Amino acid sequence: MSTVSAIVPQSITTAKLVSSNAPEADFPVYDKTKTYAVGDRCISPVTHRIYESMRASNLDKDPTDIRNRAATAPWWADFDPTNRWAMFDGDVSTQTVVPTSLRVVLKPGIFNAVYMAGIDADDAVVTVKDAPGGTVIFTKTVQLEESQPADYDEYFWMPFRAQKDLLIEGIEQYASAELAIDLLKGGGNVRCGMLAIGDLRVVGKTLSGVKIKPRSYSYTDIDTYGRLKTVRRPATCDMSLTAIVERSEADSIIDLAKDLLDVSAVWIGSNLPGYRSLRVVGLASCSMDYSGQYCRFSLDVTGVISTVSQ
């Protein structure tokens, strides 16, 4: 029987990022002696964000100061993460992009699972050492290809279908572990939209009847002349399921659910192969039916494309 689980995410800070070959040079670093015009952009190597000037004669107005972004006539707008940090901002729609190969090395603390979404690569290699420069305790190489032709016609003529997300679990936990992730591609740019690292917690045994409903956050505008404009955004899914939980575990599961309320997290409806669609990033609501030795845990996840909490 398959299990339902959730990843309790960790935030990735500057101190946890050992190295990355993704540049952080999208725009010049903010200079308080420079006068910025409307539309000028700069970056902060502290917040790892891109800022856009909203006013002319913008001098000595630090964009990292919220007071300069929250006034009635703000000096700056928070535009996007920098390229290096896009994969860590919790938003699948913002991607770290580099040619051919992406390599990041982190010291995230204690974790047992890694989840990536918004991937565009041919292969992924995940390597964990017990400490920086220490002994390799885990390594896994995955070909990111998920074409599943139903017949010979599709086998010969269906286009290649790349795997867009990846879950790596079963990693032994060490307090000082070093995690290295390599995404490789034979040609063109490698992309990664989101990297979630954390504690994979098993909730219970999934009952049959899991429901998945695709959700789109794209929108369409039609002007007075009937001209159509569609702004496309990554699609996601909503998920509904019921799981069986042992009575002795029910209270801790409710505590987990409370910790993740209003937190967009990775929820996994099944740990079995072939159920990739049951991995959803989203906001969860749930209930627990305490009835006898086993409890029934009902879960509804509203899929989102971002794990950022404002």
CATH number of the domain encompassing residue 290: 2.40.30
15 shares its domain with 132 = yes
Q: Based on the structure, what is the number of domains in the chain?
A: 3
Give the per-residue pLDDT at 304.
80
Question: How many angstroms from the chain centroid is the CA of residue 295?
Answer: 31
DSSP calls for 163-224: --EEEE--PPP-TT-EEEEEEEEEEEEEEE-EEEEEEEEEEEEEPS--EEEEE---EEEE-T
Q: Is residue 247 part of a domain?
A: yes
pLDDT (average), residues 44-61: 96
Cα–Cα distance measured from residue 147 to residue 150, given in angstroms and rounded to the nearest whole number: 10
Q: Is the pLDDT of residue 239 over 70?
A: yes
Nearest to 252 by CA among 202, 210, 298, 216: 202
Please report, for residues 66, 193, 196, the alpha-carbon distance to residue 111 in angstroms, rounded to integers and kept in the order given.
Answer: 32, 20, 10
Please tell me whether residue 120 adopts helix, strand or coil conformation.
Answer: strand
Cα–Cα distance measured from residue 91 to residue 306, given in angstroms and rounded to the nearest whole number: 4
Q: Is residue 308 part of a domain?
A: no
47 shares its domain with 168 = no
Residue 256: phi, psi to the nearest 5? -60, -45
Length of the chain: 310
Q: Is residue 223 part of a domain?
A: yes
Q: Are strands 49-53 and 136-143 parallel, antiparallel or unpaired?
A: unpaired
Reported as a pLDDT band with limits 50, 70 and 90, residue 219 is confident
Angle, CA 223 vertex, CA 221 and CA 226 arms, to 5°: 105
Q: Are strands 219-222 and 279-289 parallel, antiparallel or unpaired?
A: unpaired
104 shares its domain with 133 = yes
Question: pLDDT tens-digit profile of 161-191?
Answer: 678 899 999 999 999 999 999 999 998 999 9
111 shares its domain with 187 = yes
Cα–Cα distance measured from residue 140 to residue 180, given in angstroms and rounded to the nearest whole number: 11
- Residue appearing with tokens 């009635």: 72
258 shares its domain with 182 = no
Q: Is residue 29 part of a domain?
A: no
Q: Which domain holds residue 268?
A: 202-303
Reported as a pLDDT band with limits 50, 70 and 90, residue 154 is low
Name the domain boundary from 199, 224, 250.
199
For 266-281, give one letter per residue: b (16+ CB within 10 A) or e: bbbbbbeeeeeebbbb
Contact 130, 138 (CB under 8 A): no
Reported as a pLDDT band with limits 50, 70 and 90, residue 8 is confident
173 shares its domain with 94 = yes
92 shares its domain with 158 = yes
Q: Is residue 310 part of a domain?
A: no
Name the domain boundary from 146, 176, 199.
199
pLDDT (average), residues 227-244: 85
Q: Is residue 59 part of a domain?
A: yes
CA atoms within 13 A on the CB side of 124: 24
Contact 258, 224 (CB under 8 A): no
280 shares its domain with 180 = no
Contact 182, 124 (CB under 8 A): yes
290 shares its domain with 178 = no
Give the per-residue pLDDT at 151.
60
Q: Is residue 235 part of a domain?
A: yes
The whole model's pTM is what?
A: 0.85
Q: Is the pLDDT of residue 309 over 50?
A: no
14 shares its domain with 138 = yes
Name the domain boundary from 153, 176, 199.
199
73 shares its domain with 91 = no
Residue 82: CB atoms within 10 A of its CB come to 22
CATH number of the domain encompassing residue 107: 2.60.120.260
Cα–Cα distance measured from residue 265 to residue 7, given in angstroms and rounded to the nearest whole number: 6
Residue 40: CB atoms within 10 A of its CB come to 17
Please report, for residues 14, 209, 242, the alpha-carbon distance to residue 5 in angstroms, rounded to integers and kept in the order given.
Answer: 28, 16, 12
101 shares its domain with 90 = yes
pLDDT (average), residues 58-71: 95
Question: pLDDT tens-digit profile of 26-38?
Answer: 999 999 999 999 9
Q: Is residue 4 part of a domain?
A: no
